[in-house]
Structures are given as C-alpha cells and as structure tokens.
Structure 1
Amino acid sequence: MPSSRSTLLRDERFVLLLIARTLSMLAMAFAPVAIAFGVLDLPGATATTLSVVLAAESIALVLFTLIGGVIADRYPRDRVLQAASWVNALLHGVIGLMLLTGHAPILGLAAMTFLAGVAGALVWPAMTGIIPDIVPAASLQDGNALIGLGGNTARVAGLVAGGIVVVAIGGGWALIAAGTVFLVAGLCVGRLRLGVTPRDAVAGPSVWSELRDGWSEFRSRTWLWVCVLQFSAFVMVWQAAHLVLGPVVAKTALGGAGAWSTILVIESLGLILGGLLALRWRPAYPIRVVVLLSFLGAPPYLLLGLHAPLAAICVASFGLGLAFEMLTIFWQTTMQREIPPDSLSRVSSYDALGSLALGPLGIILAGPLADAYGAHRVLLACAAVMVVTSAASLSVPSIRNLRAEPRDGIPPHVPDSPADLGPAVTLPQ
C-alpha cells in the first residue's frame, strides 16, 4: 500500500501547491537580509530607521488579517493566494529599484512594506484553509510537513543566495530577484483551479456577521485563545529581537550581513530537520508539545545578549528552527482537525491577528530601546519574556490535556464544557 506521503506527491494539485509555496518561501528568504542591511546602509540610517520600515509591514498585517480570513473563507483560496503572490512580486521589485537608484525615502519604503503586509494578511488564512481543501484528513500532518520541508529547503537556498548577493552587489538586486520568483509562484498557484465554492454562488452574510461567527468558534476553545495570548507576547519580543536587534548586533559585533546570514541559514537547517521529524512524530498531546517547544525560542537571543561567539549562537538558532517548525506543523494540523472547514480561515485569521497584534509595538520599541540602553540588554529582556510566557501557557489544563484524537461521540469542534467557552467577549456591534 502506498504511503500517505507518496500518494500526496502523485496528486497534481498538491504538487502545484507545494511548488508555489516553495517558490514563495524562496522569494521571502531574500527579504530579511536584503531589507535589513539595505536600510542600515542608507545615509544616516539607525536602528530606529529600520524599526520604522519593518513596523509598517507588521502594522498592516495586524490591521488586515481579519479581513484576509473573511476573504479566504468567502472566495476560492487559490485565487486569493495568486493575487497575494503577484502583489508581492510588484512590491519587492519596486523596493529593489528604490534601493538600487538611491531614491529610497524612509516614508516611501515604509509605504511599500505596508502594502506588502496587506498582501501577507491574505496568505496565512488562505494557506491554512487551502490545505484541507486538497489533502485528505488522514494526511493533514504529512501535507503540512511536506509543504514546510519544501519551503524551508527553499529558505536555506534563498538565504545563502540572498546573503551572497547582498554582500556582493547590495540588497536591491536580491529584492528584484525575489519579485521575479513571486511572479512564478503566482502562475503555479493559478493552475490549481479549485473551482467555485457553494458560498460563492449565493449572497453571503455580511462581513461583520462572518467575523462574529469566526470569533465564536475561536473563543470556544480555551487551548486556542490562551496559546494565542502567549504567541502575542512571544511574537512581540521575537520580532524585536529577530528583525531589529539581531541585525544591529550582527553589524556592530559579529561582522555584518555575512554573520547574520549564517545565523539565518543555520536556523533554516533546523527548520528542515524539524519538518522531517514531524513526518514521523505524532504526539498524543500536540498543544502541550507546542508550548514545550516554544521554550527553545529564548536561547539564541539570550546568547546574542551575552556577547556569545557566533558558533554558540548558530547552535541555539538551529534548535530554534527545529522547534519552531515542529510546533508550527503540530499547531496548524490541530487547528485543521479541530475547526470546521467553512470557518477555518476566519479562525486562523483570529489566530494570526492575536499572535501578531503586539508585533508592531515590539519593532517600534526595539530601535529606540537599543539606542537608549544597548541592543544586548534589550535582547536579554526579550529572552526572559519568551520563557515566562511559555511557562504561563503550560499551566493551563486544556493545553496540557488536548489529545490528537477526538473522544468517542464528541465531534472535534464541539467545546468540552461551558467552562471552555472562555470569557464572554463579543465584537463591537
């Protein structure tokens, strides 16, 4: 009998999605080094300058993620992903040209990254929802892991190539190359042709009604909203550390773009191993494992803050990558199994919104705090927040006790008890 993985790899639609996602990840891998060091190399640029440019994208993600979830539940998800890919192609090309020509005002760069954030707000809800549209329920974890492996392999290649291009001829060309790859990814996902869903053929409910329904599904699961609260604080300090403070320390103490590219490549190798392990490991209590793995987010930034050598930081970054890939696959697979398909993208958008909500604050504060107190000290505080929030989540019983298999007679999407409905919070009318 063929394995689940081999069956998926013979499915034309899954292969097209895998190729499209892999190409998108290849393109995105060029961006962190290219934008960070492209901005820092501008005349008069500081850590605060980089914070402004990166915060614009993060703010857009927060503002538009819920709308992205509604769009991905209402319209064909392949078309949503195609549109996002083509918008990213255009924006990366424009940013690259701005850096190449030297006409790169900070407000102009921030406007481009803001629009990239709007496109990104469509991607996560659509990707979370489209996988169950293509992959059988029994093969969801394998499907998520294979897509993750493809993306992370591309990430390694993109980081290596992007780092070489940035060091050799600057970030502009790296971003133009990324735009070209996004264009090809859009062509691939456009060939999926999933067709019109029943909801497209009739007049649907209002956006606010759909958001309320999605909120009801989201808040009915204690394990879900508590973890999202953890992720919110976690992502705030992670974005500050990874997008601003890390590059600043790399530039001032580790040798520059080459050192930071090395850290990112090693982290991506950990992501690949994490994906391979997730193909075989089926934890009985996946959300408990998700939170335990999140503890491994702190060591790289602790070591950066302690002036550790590059080799030690790379080892810790490898562990971070391994942990993050496994927890992402376990988290996404659990959501796909537990949430009804017709509201999956909206619930995913609440997950993304909650997780990203404080990200802009972390990015905005990172630069000024680094300028005032030193990047190393702020990195130590970031690592401490990661440890404390992970420990707090692990204390919640529903996080420790949620099993991978539904209990007999209880559909996966039905709340366990009234206590699991969470706080009585409603959206504004």
Structure 2
Amino acid sequence: MVELSVLLNATTDKLSLNLNSLWLLVAAALVLLMTPGVAFFYGGMVKAKSVISMMMMSFGAMGVVGVLWVLYGYGMAFGPALIPGFLGNPSSLLGLSGLLGAGKDGALAPDLNGLAFAGFQATFAIITVALISGAIADRAKFGAWLIFAAVWSTLVYFPVAYWVFNLADGWAPAALGVNDFAGGTAVHINAGAAGLALALVLGKRVGFKKGISKPHNVPLTLLGAALLWFGWFGFNAGSEAAVDGIAALAWVNTLAAPAAGILGWLIVEKIKDGKPTSIGAASGAVAGLVAVTPACNILTPGWAIVLGVLVGAVCAVAIDLKFKWGFDDSLDVVGIHLIGGMIGTLFIGIFGSGIGLLDTGSLAQLGVQAMAAFGIAIFSFVMAYAIGWVIQKTIGFRINNEDEVAGVDTIVHGEEGYALDTV
C-alpha cells in the first residue's frame, strides 16, 4: 500500500507539473499576442503616413529581443548569479542549452517546465521594449530603434528582470520583500521611464502642441486595446506559473481594474472636455491593466475596482502634463505606463492584503514598494537617456524635419499604410 501511495503521489505531482507547464505555454502565446496588440493600439493613434513605421517598431522589438532572449537574455535574467542579487550569468544558459538536456542515446530531453517558463518570460521582455516606442512616434529611424532595442534590453531590461522576477536571488523581492507580481516595475515603470528619456533625446515633433494630430484610425486603436486586454489575462494570471487560486484571483482582478479604469477615465474626460471618447475608454482600460499588474495577486476584487477608478482618473489628467512641462511623449507612454505603474506599485503598500497599511498599521511595505519603483525608474531613465544620446550623436536617432513632414512610412520603409487606387 505504501508503494502504491508513493506511485500515486508521484503521478499526481507529474500531472500537476504538466498542467502548470501547459498553462504557461498558453499564457505565453496570449502575452506574445499583446505586442501586435500594441502595434495596433499605437498604430491607430498616429498619422496615416506613419502607421507602418509605428507598427514596425513593435515587430522589430519582437525580432531583436526574441533572438537576444534565447541567446543570452534568459541567462542574464534567470541564470545562476554572476553578480549576486543583481545579474545572472548569460553563459550558463547560452541558447537555452541548459534546458535542453540529453537522453542516453544523445537525443534531446527538453525540460518542459523550464522551457515553458523561458518562453513565457521572453514575451515580457519583448512587450516591454515595444511599449517604449509610443513615446517617439512619427520621428524615429527604424535602424536606430533596433540598435536601441538591443542595447537597452541587454543593459536594462535583462538585469531588471533578474532583480524583480528572480525570486531566489533578485534584490527587489528577495532582500526587500517587494510585491510586483507581474511587472509593474520591471515592465511598465521601466518602459515609461525609458520612454520619457527618449522623448527628451529626440525632441518635439514639428508643430508640437495640444491637438497636434488626431488618431487617424480609431477602430484600429480599439482593436489593439481589445488584443491587449485579452492577452493580459495570460500576462497576469500566467505569472503565478500554476493553475491555482492565486491565478484565478489575478484573472478576476485583470477584469475588474481595467473595467473600472474605463469609467474613471471617461468621467474625467466628460468633466474636462465635455465628451467621453472611445480613445479615452481604450486608454482607461490600458491604465487599469497597467496598475493592477503588480497587485493582481494581493488585492481583493473590490480594491482592484478602486484602483482602476483611481488610475483611470489620474492618468486621464496626467497625459496633459507633457504640454505643461514641454516634453513630447507622442502616445502617452509616460502618462499611462510610468504613472499607472507607479500608482499600482504604491497602492499595494496601503491596500495589499496582509502587507499593506490597512492590515498591518505599518508604512514599511509602502516604503519598500516606493524604493523599488523609484529606483528602477531612475536607473531606466538614466540608461535610456545615455543610450539614446549616443545613438543620436553618432548615427542619428531622429529623422530630419522634412522627412517627418513628408511621412515616415514612405521615407523609411518605402510603403504606405493605405495605398488607394486613384485610377
């Protein structure tokens, strides 16, 4: 009977591991779909003559970051410590070789769960870089963008992923006890700070002012928002890496917060501008998704709704700061991802179940959340500014004004988003 019990337990454990791995593979596919979602979301909001350029920046990120992740990025983010607490050893998992195994006959014996996790995390690296591109829409050279994507992901994203997601050694969760379940700091604050830096390096678009350009294709943006929300269920619930109650809670909160974010944004838009817009609804949903990303495992659905309303309202106001402060963040990467990521990360310190101020009476968790949020923001901003500045001063990052006015698509890619037959 003892041997049978051991066998049954071993079988159950294997089935559970396989089920968790299956969920990771499905979640990874959902998150990968988010990057084309970003392309549509951003593409609809730019000028008709730069839609190809905007969408190509997302697809370029998929190409560059996907390759680098397999070659050495996963090792830097999840390999054995090269610099304990701060950086993994890229050579330890070069080409993911350490996850491939080998049978007695020399055939491959891949690590199912290890490869599933590596694939899942690859999609996070890809979308983080893609998010940055919205800050420099309408005026960036594609080749320069690819170089930036390669260097920034290597020097910034891979190390930050180690800090935040490597639970065994990274300083953020291991040493401080930061709660960042799915990437409020590593993804959204990281991308938002980098977007701000690049917007400053490249400067303002020709004729920059409030209302400089209206979205050329609103349905395209709404399609992108829908794809993002759909994929985000994999982004958040998949981060549990298991099929359990926390994954289900993350899923429900990924419904509640963006739904409330829509309402928060539209209320402010109605008060401020007199009319609720579809672009506002899409932006409010994304703001809610951004904010709940670090907190979806530790908030009750009721608090997720409060967070969504709050972040939708605040981000609806924050997107106008660029006109007051004079930086041209084309598609509000700063106003939504940096501000939204900050709000969601800090919200945990007050309302997080079992760790926040309301439950513990202590501000300690808020302090460590703030330390991680502002520390990563400063690191990302400084590094992105330095990388972007070097590219601008050497090969040039920004296209010239004449080409910007003529249209990035035809100048850089030799294509048009809408080739109409005039015959």
> Normalization by structure 2: what TM-score?
0.32
Structure showing greater radius of gyration is 2
Higher helix share: 1
> Normalization by structure 1: what TM-score?
0.32
* Greater RCO, 1 or 2 (C-alpha within 8 Å, sep 6+): 1
